[in-house]
Amino acid sequence: MVNTELTFKDSFGSLLVVMPSAINRLLDHRQLDSSSNEAAGVLIGERRGSHLVIYDISEPGKGDIRSRYFVDRRGPHHQAAVDDAFARSSGRLQYLGEWHTHPEDQPSPSSTDLGTWRRHLVAQEQMVLLIIGRKQIWAAKKVAEKIVPLLKV
């Protein structure tokens, strides 16, 4: 169990904060044994000026396509989690991006990941990308067409 938040920043000092409630659930999906499949979901949180705070996630479920080196979060429950959070918080909690796991210690995006984000994650505002490795978490933001990796604080 993690009790403190995880913080990342970009080169302008804008922060990405992942709250313990979200971190612990993300870490639960790490591909720690040789038969575990990739997992994926959405990130839900709040925009505070140029800073982003992740409070909640959606997790794998019915309809998702998963294998050792591939995941496609097709299940309708992901969007339902975003809609629920938005309604419960009167619009404060929103869809902020995507997470998935990799079966490697220090994860980095595959060319498939980069292509998928470029094509499907189209937004006016900056969006968050997380890859949960076995030992580390890779974090980035998508700003317009650019993927900007973040540094752990």
* Shortest CB 59 distance to Zn ion, Å: 17
Residue with tokens 């080196």: 69
Q: How far is CA 49 from the centre of its chain?
A: 19
* Residue with smallest beta-carbon separation from Zn ion: 113
Distance separating alpha carbons of residues 94 and 47, to the nearest angstrom: 8
Burial class from Cβ neighbours inside 10 Å (0-12, 13-18, 19+) for residue 31 reads buried
Q: Which is nearer to Zn ion, 14 or 107 (CB)?
A: 107
The residues assigned a catalytic role are: 38
The tokens describing 4, both together, are 């403190």
* Shortest CB 109 distance to Zn ion, Å: 6
Q: Which is nearer to Zn ion, 55 or 99 (CB)?
A: 99
If you ran DSSP here, which 8-state letter would residue 21 be given? H
Reduce the DSSP state of residue 87 to 3 states and report it: helix
* Shortest CB 40 distance to Zn ion, Å: 8
* Shortest CB 130 distance to Zn ion, Å: 10
> Given the rule CB under 5 A, which residues bind Zn ion?
110, 113
Cα 110 to Cα 20, 23, 131, distances in angstroms:
27, 22, 10
